[in-house]
Amino acid sequence: MRHEPGITFEVPDMPDIDVALEPDRRPVKGVAQRDIGRLEGWIRIGQPWCTALTAKVAGDDADLKRYVAGGAAQSRFAVVSLSCTFAPQGDAEFVKAWVQVHLARDDGQTSPAPIAYSMQPVRGGSPRQLTRTVKVGADLKLLQTGVEEGVIDNIENLFVEALYEGESNPAWELSRTSAASISGVQRFSMVVLQPKVAVSSGIVTVTATVENKRFGIFTYNGKPPDPAKLTFRVP
């Protein structure tokens, strides 16, 4: 059998953080602000899991080791993975949701900046079976894992698209479709490239639009009880 270069990680279960949704308080004609309240229990974000991509981690994979060594003079690479659980309640539902990661250097410098070198999922309908495995190819790009790999979670099919790959504010946009609602667990992964001379961190945020059958569609911003729990250090 032909060996496929790369390395596979199994992402462990991470603690979930309840994220309340605060409504955008811009005035809406015909709707009293008291009717558009805070939503509790609708979203939980798993604390990000991170691991450095080093020659040691590459093990016996010569191609991966070569690529890591080639960038080691100026850069470091790391895998970051997180989950988001959507749990709409009552007769309201998510129309869209955005899970975003904000990357920055701890020293406050903006160049060179840490970026999302690769992201998964990229675009399209999410698979009906989603794994907890993350596979990195020999070029340090994320590969889509097959359903036979890793631990499987059954989810409904919905549309997801990665945004801002190659930048410091990567995000995933999820959209309600005619076939499925936004609910259940979604998993997101990226390879972060950061300058070797700097230490970088990231913070996860979430924004959503929710349709209430009585009042219409409104935008909500995620407010975790402790934002530090959704902040991570890039190794």
Q: What pLDDT score was predicted for residue 129? A: 60
- The SS3 assignment for 97 reads strand
Q: Is residue 29 part of a domain?
A: yes
* CA–CA distance, 195 with 207 (Å, rounded to integer): 29
Mean pLDDT by 10 residues, the chain (235 residues): 70 96 71 71 97 84 76 84 95 95 97 96 69 88 63 54 96 87 92 94 97 85 95 96
**Residue carrying the six token digits 């402790």:** 226
Q: Is residue 1 part of a domain?
A: no
Q: Is residue 75 part of a domain?
A: yes
Q: Is residue 27 part of a domain?
A: yes
Six-digit token string for 207:
């924004």
Looking at the chain, the whole-number percentage of residues with pLDDT higher than 90 is 57
Q: Is residue 139 part of a domain?
A: yes
> pTM of this prediction?
0.88
* CA–CA distance, 106 with 114 (Å, rounded to integer): 10
Condensed to tens digits (0 to 9), the pLDDT of residues 64-113 reads 777 777 666 688 999 999 999 999 999 899 999 999 999 999 999 999 99
Q: Which residue range(s) make up the domain with 189?
A: 7-234
**What b/e string do you get for 86-97 counting C-beta neighbours within 10 Å, with b at 16 or more?**
bebeeebbbbbb
Helices in the chain by DSSP H: which ranges? 55-58, 62-71
Q: Is residue 224 part of a domain?
A: yes
| CATH number for the domain harbouring residue 76 | 2.70.240
The answer to whether 153 and 132 are in contact (CB under 8 A) is yes
Q: Is residue 230 part of a domain?
A: yes
Q: Is residue 87 part of a domain?
A: yes
Q: What total number of domains does the chain contain?
A: 1
Cβ-proximal residues to 70 (8 Å cutoff; 6+ apart), any chain: none
End-to-end CA distance of the chain: give it in Å, rounded.
Answer: 34
- Residue 125 forms beta bridges with which residues? 159
